[in-house]
């Protein structure tokens, strides 16, 4: 046990007790983090009082050790916890741990981040209660200054982090990647074990959980939340954040079977202009503490960047879909004439630069006008679609199949010489001739022309030569392939407006 006279001497030694307190409080207030501030309290008191100092805080899960200085404590955790539970509300209290193999300790009650904190000082310092009470008040104020300062810095970092995250998310492009990166980054920023992102799906008029961090998304992929229902639905509909201290008091959906480790919960809406995109939720802080207003503000900051990134990803996906749709023939699913023209110019330039071969195959359905006139356009459309399927399944994945218009098709074959392209054309001709899906027209056949790229060819030259060869195949009796080594002395007549040649 400390000698009271010695205690008084230390606290007032050379009349500098106030200077000691000022130095400690200044160091605490300037700490960059809450943890550093607590460490500064322990180190400063240990040096000034020449005693061991231990700091404990009370969390929803019980008493936890926070910091120490000057040496360890020998009492068991059970004895120490029982002693701490018996502590009163006085600023300075004596704690007798001699029965646990320790000495008498003196406790200073402080306030830190809304959590009761006890600073235990080895020895009996209660004779200096007035001085220690002043120290406790000053250190509590210093801790508050440190906390507020750290929170300001955290807000600044969160703003910068949110801005940078928004830029990174906007570069990801795909919606799924944006959502997954978002929940991972939010979990790191908030020190939250579980984060979820629910997006509103207009086609279902429900919110669906599309990304999770800390637990498998598979466990909630079928969950749908109605606007206005449960916390997520309420946040979505009200467009206002919710900070819950005890999530156990809120009824969960029947499909939600996960058990939370803590009872704190925060949810914020994701707003983009006048539209609510979805809801961000977080539970289970790593340290077991509840979420606070600062965490809710941080999530709001994140939600702004997140909502904009999600909208950008959606717009990008829709733009890509529309751009792709603009290149596709609606009836056959093959590329259209506009896309073929662009790609043919590209492949010609590539073949010219690299010195590789390139062939163009043109195909026309024999007597297709007669089929349309006698059997109707529905049968004609079915035949066109069936021919498109045969073409798609008869070429390589990087070959370009297109419908030029009417009953005329084209295939660009990069890297194929005349022999291989002619063999491909013959294979297509045979497959169409025996294709069972054309049972309405048992004798359906096609004619094909195959032209090989020459180094001085423009796209128009290659198309013109393939077209003449196609007309030659028609003139020679149809249902045949004519390639570049055959003499095309028959002049090709002007195309019909449908884009096809003579039937």
pLDDT tens digits, one per residue of 168-202: 655 555 777 778 888 888 888 788 889 998 988 88
Residue 277 has pLDDT above 90, yes or no: no
Residue 135 has pLDDT above 60, yes or no: yes
State the pLDDT at residue 140: 84
Residue 438 has pLDDT above 80, yes or no: no
Task: Give per-residue pLDDT as tens, 298-311.
Answer: 888 778 777 877 87
Architecture of domain 173-323: 2-Layer Sandwich (3.30)
CA distance 242 to 35: 28
pLDDT tier for residue 318 given thresholds of 50, 70 and 90: confident
**Per CATH, domain 4-148 is 3.30.70.1140:** no
Residue 256 has pLDDT above 50, yes or no: no
State the pLDDT at residue 460: 92
CA distance 254 to 71: 52
pLDDT tier for residue 390 given thresholds of 50, 70 and 90: very high
Q: What is the 3-state secondary structure (H, E, C) of 370-425?
A: HHHHHHCHHHHHHHHHHHHHHHHHHCCCCCEEEEEECCEEEEEEECCCHHHHHHHH
Of these ranges, 71-80, 94-103, 131-140, 379-388, the one predicted with the greatest mean pLDDT is 379-388
- Least trusted range by pLDDT, from 64-78, 163-177, 211-225, 396-410: 163-177
pLDDT tier for residue 253 given thresholds of 50, 70 and 90: very low
pTM (2 d.p.) = 0.50
Residue 399 has pLDDT above 90, yes or no: yes
Give percent above pLDDT 90 in the chain: 25
- Least trusted range by pLDDT, from 210-214, 216-220, 427-431, 475-479: 216-220
Task: Identify any residues that bridge with 109 across adjacent strands, giving them in sequence order.
Answer: 118
Residue 392 has pLDDT above 60, yes or no: yes
Interval 397-408 mean pLDDT: 92
State the pLDDT at residue 150: 73
Which positions are catalytic? 407
State the pLDDT at residue 10: 54
Of these ranges, 78-92, 250-264, 351-365, the one predicted with the greatest mean pLDDT is 351-365
State the pLDDT at residue 312: 75
Residue 463 has pLDDT above 90, yes or no: yes
More reliable by pLDDT, 230 or 481: 481
More reliable by pLDDT, 100 or 168: 100
Q: What phi and psi values does residue 333 have, to the nearest 5 degrees?
A: 80, 0
Segments making up each domain of the chain, as ranges: 4-148, 173-323, 337-483
Residue 500 has pLDDT above 80, yes or no: no
CA distance 421 to 428: 11
State the pLDDT at residue 499: 46
- Degrees to nearest 5, angle at CA 315 with 314 and 316: 90
Nearest Cα to 380, choosing from 307, 441, 318?
A: 441
Region 337-483: CATH code: 3.30.70.270
Residue 437 has pLDDT above 60, yes or no: no
State the pLDDT at residue 169: 58
Supply 436's token pair.
């069972």
Handedness of CA 120, 124, 129, 132 (dihedral sign): negative
Residue 260 has pLDDT above 80, yes or no: no
When the pLDDT of each residue in the chain is averaged and rounded to a whole number, the result is 81
State the pLDDT at residue 356: 92
Q: What is the 3-state secondary structure (H, E, C) of 203-225?
A: CCCEEEEEEEECCCHHHHCCCEE
Interval 318-329 mean pLDDT: 82
- Least trusted range by pLDDT, from 282-296, 387-401, 464-478: 282-296
Residue 138 has pLDDT above 90, yes or no: no
More reliable by pLDDT, 177 or 17: 177
Is it true that 4-148 and 173-323 share their CATH fold? yes
CA distance 9 to 23: 18
């Amino acid at each position: 046990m400390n000698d009271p006279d010695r205690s008084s001497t230390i606290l007032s030694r050379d009349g500098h007790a106030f200077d000691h307190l000022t130095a400690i409080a200044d160091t605490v207030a300037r700490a960059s983090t809450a943890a550093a501030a607590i460490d500064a309290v322990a180190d400063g008191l240990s040096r000034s009082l020449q005693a061991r100092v231990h700091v404990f805080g009370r969390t929803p899960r019980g008493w936890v050790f926070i910091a120490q200085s000057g040496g360890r404590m020998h009492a068991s955790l059970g004895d120490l916890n029982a002693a701490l539970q018996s502590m009163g509300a006085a600023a300075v209290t004596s704690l007798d741990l001699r029965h646990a193999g320790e000495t008498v300790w003196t406790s200073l009650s402080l306030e830190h981040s809304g959590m009761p904190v006890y600073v235990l000082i080895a020895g009996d310092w209660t004779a200096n209660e007035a001085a220690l009470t002043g120290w406790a008040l000053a250190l509590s104020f210093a801790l508050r200054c440190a906390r507020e300062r750290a929170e300001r810095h955290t807000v600044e970092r969160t703003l910068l982090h949110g801005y940078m995250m928004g830029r990174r998310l906007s570069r990801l492009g795909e919606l799924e990647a944006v959502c997954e990166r978002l929940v991972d980054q939010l979990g790191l920023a908030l020190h939250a074990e579980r984060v979820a992102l629910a997006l509103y799906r207009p086609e279902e008029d429900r919110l669906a959980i599309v990304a999770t961090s800390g637990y498998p998304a598979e466990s909630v992929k079928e969950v749908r939340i109605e606007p206005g229902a449960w916390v997520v639905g309420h946040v979505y509909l009200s467009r206002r954040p919710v900070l819950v201290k005890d999530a156990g008091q809120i009824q969960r959906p029947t499909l939600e079977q996960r058990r939370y480790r803590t009872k704190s919960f925060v949810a914020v809406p994701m707003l983009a202009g006048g539209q609510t995109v979805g809801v961000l939720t977080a539970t289970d802080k790593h340290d077991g503490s509840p979420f606070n207003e600062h965490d809710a503000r941080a999530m709001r900051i994140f939600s702004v960047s997140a909502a904009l990134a999600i909208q950008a990803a959606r717009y990008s996906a829709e733009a890509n879909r529309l751009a792709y749709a603009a290149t596709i023939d609606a009836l056959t699913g093959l590329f259209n004439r506009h896309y073929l023209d662009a790609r043919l110019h590209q492949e010609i330039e590539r073949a010219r630069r690299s010195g590789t071969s390139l062939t163009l195959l043109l195909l026309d359905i024999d007597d297709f006008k007669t089929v349309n006139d006698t059997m109707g356009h529905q049968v004609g459309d079915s035949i066109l679609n069936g021919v498109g399927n045969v073409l798609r399944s008869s070429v390589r994945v990087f070959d370009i199949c297109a419908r030029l218009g009417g009953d005329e098709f084209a295939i660009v074959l990069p890297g194929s010489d005349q022999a291989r392209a002619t063999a491909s054309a013959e294979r297509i001709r045979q497959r169409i001739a025996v294709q069972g899906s054309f049972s309405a027209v048992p004798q359906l056949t096609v004619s094909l022309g195959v032209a090989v790229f020459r180094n001085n060819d423009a796209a128009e030259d290659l198309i013109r030569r393939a077209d003449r060869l196609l007309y030659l195949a028609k003139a020679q009796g149809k249902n045949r392939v004519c390639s570049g080594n055959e003499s095309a002395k028959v002049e090709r007549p002007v195309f019909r407006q449908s884009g096809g040649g003579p039937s």
